[in-house]
Structure 1
Amino acid sequence: MSFLDVAGKSFVVFGLANKKSVACAIARTLVAEGAEVIHVVRSEERRKTAKKLFPDSPVFLCDVEDEENIIRVRDEVARELERRGGIKLSGLVHSIAFANYSEGLKPFHETLKKDFLQAVNVSCFSFISISNHFKELLAEDGSVVTISISTTRMAAENYGYMAPIKAALDSSLCFLAKSFSAFSKVRFNAVAPGLLKTSASAGIPGYVDSYLFAEKVIPRKQALTTQESANTAAFLLSPRSSGINAQTIVVDGGMEINYFDKEIIKGAVG
């Protein structure tokens, strides 16, 4: 038996966009460990991508901005599980974030209400909604994992208003864990990676420079990989992490301890 003990268990992964996605890396890790993965993606184009990457996995469509879609896909997944003999889900992955800078990137205090509220809905409330509507499909000791960021306290201008939204996501873990404890042992945790080389991050202005800086700050002088984040997520989804609940696990290669590295200081002030 593999250490993770997920072979033969079923998981739903929300958020695959392409082969560089964190969701894709998590799903690949679960499949490699013998698990069954059901994908839920936003668009028909992403459905085709998911089927190409995971030809043996069911793929369903859901734009989480509309809660009715979450209810519909819940029913579709329920029918798939019934087809498999009425099994329960061992876990859910929420790897979804969206920011609409409709009038371009602005200083934080000029954030547009409509953009902010849309991002909260898609990036944070969807996590709460998915957990609620899928609760009957989860095993009593299931695990739910979302993807956050390594720090919501670093005021990087190019990340705009997404850090406060990720802070709300982190806080939601505690309240979901508490409310679910009334009727189950389902756990809620987050993986909080440092800077990753993904297609989504590539669209953030100035991200490449930040990524290269992070590589210098990380003590090992090597950037964090998407697979390293996925490995942590797979562990949190597995019964081996049964003692971890309502936690945000930072995966940044130690970057947060090394901002005052002497070589970086020399380059900045020398």
Structure 2
Amino acid sequence: MIDLASLAVLKGKKALVTGIANDQSIAWGCAKAFHAFGADLAITYRSEKTKRYVDALAKQVDASIYMPLDVQKPGELEVVFDTIKKKWGKLDIMLHSIAFAPKDDLQGRVVDCSKDGFLLAMELSCWSFIGMAKLAEPLMKDGGTLFTMTYYGSQMVVENYNIMGPVKAALEAVTRYMAAELGPKGIRVHAISPGPLKTRAASGLSDFDKLLQKAQAKAPSRSLVSIDDVGVAVAFLAMNGAKLITGETLYIDGGYHIID
């Protein structure tokens, strides 16, 4: 087995990871990979309720910065980036793994979605990435990589994914536009599209177990993706060797998305 610590290709890099809820979170898989490849980490937690699940994880990856971040609370996002500026003076990697839609809107038809529910889903799942990118830009003086999390339901109609489909489609378009705008500064932007995973966020989807079974049976690899699979792939895109890859929606799903 390869000792990842001996491959410290991200040594000296500073990485912000948001959206860890517990040890099943995709963001946690990414944090572990960044740490294994040598990056210093800033970890955020959404609330005191989630903090109790994230405390031990932050310690496990020796997080240099550990603080709350609820993008609905005015000013909290700015405090995180101010802290990074004061402590590190720069940022190389930023992972946005934040998404939300009200339960009634998420579990109902798109045509029945409330205006307030749609706007809230767009604000928290899409605009928050734009807001974070704007704050990260001046800290990425030597370039860097911005990541966000999307899903196949942005491109194809996936049963029960409902309003999150259009929201994630907007997020992927934002990724491409920001990649074009920030590319001259050496800042790369990617949307990561894993196959279905049993995460806290996925628990809000109806009949999710059926979706997992379908994905495993349909994917060419005949296997489900893990948070560690996602983490290593994302870490690769943050490496200097991937400096000319940007604006992508990267599918990490065993090939599921290529099968009709």
TM-score normalized by the length of structure 2: 0.90
Matched with 1:77 is 84
- Determine whether 1:36 maps to 2:40: yes
Deviation at 1:66, TM superposition (A): 4.0
Matched with 2:162 is 160
- The count of residues paired between Structure 1 and Structure 2 equals 253
- For 1:103 and 1:194, how far apart are their aligned partners in 2? 23
**Residues 79/48 of structure 1: CA separation in 2 closer, same or farther (3 Å cut):** farther
- For 2:165 and 2:106, how far apart are their aligned partners in 1? 17
Return 132-141 or 164-173, whichever deviates more: 132-141
**Could you list the per-position Cα deviations for residues 85-125 of structure 1 after superposition, in whole angstroms to 9, with x for gaps in the alignment?**
x4x21110111111112467222111111111001000000
**Could you list the per-position Cα deviations for residues 37-84 of structure 1 after superposition, in whole angstroms to 9, with x for gaps in the alignment?**
101221123233222112121211111124522112211222222xxx
The equivalences for 1:1-270 within 5 A come to 5-55=9-59, 56-57=62-63, 58-81=65-88, 86=89, 88-102=90-104, 105-181=107-183, 184-259=185-260
- For 2:126 and 2:179, how far apart are their aligned partners in 1? 15
Amino acid corresponding to residue 12 of structure 1 in structure 2:
L
- For 2:93 and 2:141, how far apart are their aligned partners in 1? 8
Deviation at 1:226, TM superposition (A): 1.9
Q: Is the 8 A contact 2:26 2:227 kept in 1?
A: yes
Q: Is the 8 A contact 2:103 2:204 kept in 1?
A: no
Return 6-15 or 136-145, whichever deviates more: 136-145
Kindly name which structure, 1 or 2, has the bigger radius of gyration based on alpha carbons.
Answer: 1
Unaligned runs of 5+ in 1: 260-270
Tell me the SS of whatever aligns to 1:134: helix
Tell me the SS of whatever aligns to 1:140: coil
Deviation at 1:224, TM superposition (A): 1.6
Q: Is the 8 A contact 2:105 2:163 kept in 1?
A: no
- For 1:177 and 1:248, how far apart are their aligned partners in 2? 11
Deviation at 1:8, TM superposition (A): 2.7
Q: Point out 4+ residue stretches in structure 1 off by more than 4 angstroms.
A: 1-4
Q: Is the 8 A contact 1:14 1:93 kept in 2?
A: yes
- For 2:104 and 2:20, how far apart are their aligned partners in 1? 24
Tell me the SS of whatever aligns to 2:50: helix
- For 1:168 and 1:112, how far apart are their aligned partners in 2? 18
Tell me the SS of whatever aligns to 2:143: strand
Return 213-222 or 108-117, whichever deviates more: 213-222
Tell me the SS of whatever aligns to 1:143: strand
- For 2:106 and 2:150, how far apart are their aligned partners in 1? 23
- For 1:29 and 1:104, how far apart are their aligned partners in 2? 31
**Residues 117/229 of structure 1: CA separation in 2 closer, same or farther (3 Å cut):** same
Amino acid corresponding to residue 51 of structure 2 in structure 1:
R
Return 122-131 or 215-224, whichever deviates more: 215-224
**Could you list the per-position Cα deviations for residues 126-175 of structure 1 after superposition, in whole angstroms to 9, with x for gaps in the alignment?**
00000101222224221111111134132123112001110111000122
**Could you list the per-position Cα deviations for residues 181-228 of structure 1 after superposition, in whole angstroms to 9, with x for gaps in the alignment?**
45x111101111111122221221111111111111012322122221
- For 1:258 and 1:181, how far apart are their aligned partners in 2? 32
